[in-house]
């Protein structure tokens, strides 16, 4: 009986500022994640990339988490403030 093992993949698009582009590419290359450039935003100096990961692989999930953390931290320093860190940890009454 022939069985074909298909790899489930999830694709997502991300805007990558050039300041952290090399860090993101390092993550993608080190973990053999498929990615491609979808667009260039010259005004913002960023790239739009599509990333395809296998969610069944732990290292792919961790790599995606690593990537999102870098992007989130960069956005926090570029556009956020010290108090915005406090606000995200506060519980607001419903």
Partner 1 sequence: MTTTCLHCGSPMQSQRNTKKYCSDNCKQLAFYKRNGLALVNNDENLPLSGRQEIEKEPVDNEVVLIQSYQQEFNEQLTGDLPLKSLNDEQTITVNNSFTVKPERDEPPYKCVLSKMIYSIADYIDNSEALFMFQHPGDYWGIHTLLTVKWVSLRLRCLLESLIKLSNYSAVDCDNVIKVKEVFTALIDSGEFKKLPPNYPFTKLIKELEQKLALIAKQHKHSESIRFRLTTNRKVELIGIRFMLADFVPAIKFSEIDFAE
Residues that bind partner 1 (CB under 8 A): 1, 3, 5, 18-20, 23, 26-27, 30-31, 42-45, 57-59, 62-63, 66, 69-70, 72-74, 76-78, 80-85, 88-89
| Distance in Å, CB of 49 to partner 1, minimum | 16
Q: Closest CB to partner 1 among 89 and 94? A: 89
Would you state the structure tokens that stand for residue 91, as one six-digit string?
């519980």
| Distance in Å, CB of 21 to partner 1, minimum | 10
Q: Are 55 and 10 in contact (CB under 8 A)?
A: yes
Q: Closest CB to partner 1 among 2 and 94? A: 2
Contacts 24+ apart (CB under 8 A), 70-73: 70/20, 70/23, 70/24, 70/27, 71/14, 71/15, 71/16, 71/17, 71/20, 71/24
Q: Closest CB to partner 1 among 8 and 78? A: 78
């Amino acid at each position: 009986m022939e069985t074909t093992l298909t790899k489930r993949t999830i694709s997502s698009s991300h805007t990558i500022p050039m300041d952290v582009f090399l860090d993101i590419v390092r993550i993608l290359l080190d973990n053999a994640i498929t990615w491609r450039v979808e667009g260039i935003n010259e005004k913002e100096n960023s790239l739009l990339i599509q990333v395809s990961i296998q969610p069944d692989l732990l290292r792919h999930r961790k790599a995606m988490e690593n990537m999102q953390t870098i992007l989130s931290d960069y956005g926090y320093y570029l556009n956020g403030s010290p108090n915005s860190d406090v606000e995200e940890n506060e519980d607001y009454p419903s």
